Amino acid sequence: MATRRELKEAVGERYRAAKRGRERQQILSEFVRVTGYHRKHALRVLNQPAAPPSPPARGRLYDEAVHQALTVLWEAGDRICGKRLRPLVPIMLEAMERHGHLQLAPDVRTRLLTMSAATMDRALSEARGQPGRKSHRRAAPSAAVRRSVPVRTFSDWGDPAPGFVEADLVAHSGPIAAGNFVQTLVLTDIATGWTECAPCWYESRSCSPKFWTWFAS
């Protein structure tokens, strides 16, 4: 296939440069005899302009050293997705280097800081699928639940700074919500995904004094 393509380019260049008339007819006849093409098809092939040179192959930008450093940061960040990990990488990298947990060559550090969120997700896909690394995601909610409960994704919050949280109460009442039972207040930081859980000891809206002291701090 490569030989035929090279032949088309070489003969086509000669054909287009030749004068109209007998010289072109001779080149066309030779081309038909070598390729076995129909004469009209050969004429169309030879009249096609030369294909532009293919761009040089791009070298691999993010090698194994970058992937390993990214995996360390991903594990330290509780395996959050690329969209949440990307803005935290400069902060986590500086902190881990300062405390001696990570030492990177300058070029590896530079390439790691230039990775996009989508590239991070692609680079971490293999690590997510390794044995012993269980996914945090449980079974997908039903369509009825998705329709009835409004859900915001990370991008819907307008890139909030760390400190803005979502709060939710989880009732540990079993199948029947009767009597007194423990509830858990779940606070999730939107930017980082950091989650804190605190018990509410009563069924009513009021929580224990100990909890409010913790929450205020």
Which structure tokens are listed for 194?
């950091």
How far is the C-alpha of 115 from the C-alpha of 109, rounded, in Å? 10
How far is the C-alpha of 67 from the C-alpha of 56, rounded, in Å? 24
| pLDDT the model gives residue 59 | 54
How far is the C-alpha of 80 from the C-alpha of 73, rounded, in Å? 10
**Helical spans, DSSP H, in the chain:** 2-17, 22-35, 39-47, 64-76, 82-98, 106-113, 117-128, 143-148, 209-216
Say which residue the tokens 């990990």 belong to. 85
- Give the rounded distance of the alpha carbon of 110 from its chain centre: 19
pLDDT in tens, 26-38: 888 888 888 888 8
Which long-range contacts link 187-191 to residues 24+ away (Cβ below 8 Å)? 189/162, 189/163, 189/164, 189/165, 190/154, 190/157, 190/160, 190/164, 190/165, 190/166, 191/84, 191/87, 191/159, 191/160, 191/161, 191/162, 191/163, 191/164
Would you list the domain boundaries of the chain?
A: 2-47, 64-128, 160-216
| DSSP 8-state assignment for residue 180 | -
Instruction: Using the predicted structure, report yes or no on whether residue 55 has a pLDDT greater than 80.
Output: no
| DSSP 8-state assignment for residue 185 | E
**pLDDT level of residue 71 (50, 70, 90 thresholds):** very high
| pLDDT the model gives residue 121 | 92
Q: Give kind and range of the element (H or E) at residue 170.
A: strand 165-171
| pLDDT the model gives residue 36 | 82
Between 86 and 59, name the one with better pLDDT.
86
Among 65-69, 152-156, 182-186, 194-198, the minimum mean pLDDT is found in 152-156
Q: What is the mean pLDDT of residues 83-112?
A: 90
Which amino acid makes up residue 169?
Answer: L
Closest CA to 15 of 45, 56, 53, 54: 45
| pLDDT the model gives residue 179 | 72
Expressed in angstroms, the distance from the first to the final Cα of the chain is 73
| DSSP 8-state assignment for residue 51 | P
- The fraction of the chain above a pLDDT of 90, given in percent, is 16
pLDDT in tens, 115-172: 999 999 999 988 887 655 555 555 555 667 666 766 666 566 677 788 888 888 888 8
| pLDDT the model gives residue 89 | 92
Cβ 110 vs Cβ 62: under 8 Å: no
Instruction: Using the predicted structure, report yes or no on whether residue 209 has a pLDDT greater than 70.
Output: no
Which structure tokens are listed for 111?
């390439």
| pLDDT the model gives residue 205 | 47
Mean of the per-residue pLDDT values for the chain? 78
Which structure tokens are listed for 145?
């639940």
Cβ 185 vs Cβ 167: under 8 Å: yes
188 forms beta bridges with: 166, 195
| pLDDT the model gives residue 131 | 56
Instruction: Using the predicted structure, report yes or no on whether residue 203 has a pLDDT greater than 80.
Output: no
Between 215 and 94, name the one with better pLDDT.
94
**pLDDT level of residue 94 (50, 70, 90 thresholds):** very high
Instruction: Using the predicted structure, report yes or no on whether residue 42 has a pLDDT greater than 70.
Output: yes
| pLDDT the model gives residue 5 | 74
